[in-house]
Structure 1
Amino acid sequence: MFSNSTRVFIQFGDCDPAGIVYYPNYFRMFDNATAALLSAAFGMNKRQWVAHYGIAGIPMVDTSSRFLIPSQYGDEIEIRTSISELGRSSFGVLHHVYRDDALAIEAREKRVWVQRDETGAIRSAALPDDVRERLSS
């Protein structure tokens, strides 16, 4: 399945009073890493692929994570992101975060491909064939 790698430099504002990354900030980083993976797969930036496919987004509907090694201000981490599964309208994403070549975090997401219906509400939509093809390569 498709994979991508993103490097992140931990900023002072990412950290809590204990000096380590405040855990919700990792989910912001994971969201960015997922967008980067899809941008690499589709060959266009997020704004372009959202418009191209006419979707309302890719909301996260399930997540889990294991925090093994903390990161702090000044650290550089690598987020290795890959597609783990493809459903009818959903897809799984794995994030493996490395700090100094050691596994620091394992995280999983389930995302849903959504479009707006005639009332403006969001509804799941089948993954287009070309999306399925690109993500399974």
Structure 2
Amino acid sequence: MKRHEMSVEIGFKHCDPAGIVFYPRYAEMVNDTVEHWFKHGLGVDFDGLHRVRRIAIPTVKLNFNFMSPSRLGEVLTSTLRVEETGRSSVSFIVDFAGQDGRARLRADVKIVFVGMESMKSLEIPSDLKRSIEGYCWSAEPSLS
């Protein structure tokens, strides 16, 4: 079971006047983690996926569990782990933790592969499905 990690430096742009991360910024950080995973973990960047292969991956589920605040100047680690793969969808967890190891946020995410023109779901391409399944928590992918 693999996981994908990425460092996130908390900058001024992420924070509210109290100096803590403004909650919608976590949605951007989750997307940054997914984009980083596709490029560095799966070997296909968003340009290749969207512009060349004409595949989009809209988010259809996004739930947050906030554990403790993150502050300006901190460095967090985001960790992505795949929970389940379906015919056209992938469900995964993205955890954020501080350098002290303390959990900050857990995001429960589901994306769906769709054709850019039709915006209808399509089967995950076999090259990507093999790579994605390497990040599954369980040894066997789901049959859904």
TM-score of the aligned structures, taking structure 1 as reference length: 0.89
CA drift of 1:18 comes to: 1.9
CA drift of 1:54 comes to: 2.6
- C-alpha distance in structure 1 between counterparts of 2:3 and 2:51, whole Å: 23
2:81 pairs with 1:82: yes
Letter in 1 for 2:17: P
2:142 pairs with 1:129: no
Residue-by-residue CA offset, 1:5-56 (whole Å, 9 max, x unaligned): 010110112111222100000000000101111112332422123345331x
Paired residues of 1:34 and 1:93 also in contact (CA < 8 A): no
- C-alpha distance in structure 1 between counterparts of 2:43 and 2:61, whole Å: 26
Q: CA RMSD in A?
A: 1.5
> Structure 2 stretches of 5 or more lacking a match?
135-144
CA drift of 1:71 comes to: 0.5
- C-alpha distance in structure 1 between counterparts of 2:5 and 2:53, whole Å: 24
2:138 is aligned to: none
Paired residues of 1:2 and 1:135 also in contact (CA < 8 A): no
TM-score of the aligned structures, taking structure 2 as reference length: 0.85
- C-alpha distance in structure 1 between counterparts of 2:58 and 2:2, whole Å: 19
Structure 1: which 4+ aligned runs deviate by more than 6 Å? none
2:10 pairs with 1:13: no
Pick the structure with more strand per residue: 1
Residue-by-residue CA offset, 1:44-85 (whole Å, 9 max, x unaligned): 422123345331x11001111111110111011000112211
Identity rate, percent: 28
Aligned length: 133
1:91 is aligned to: 90
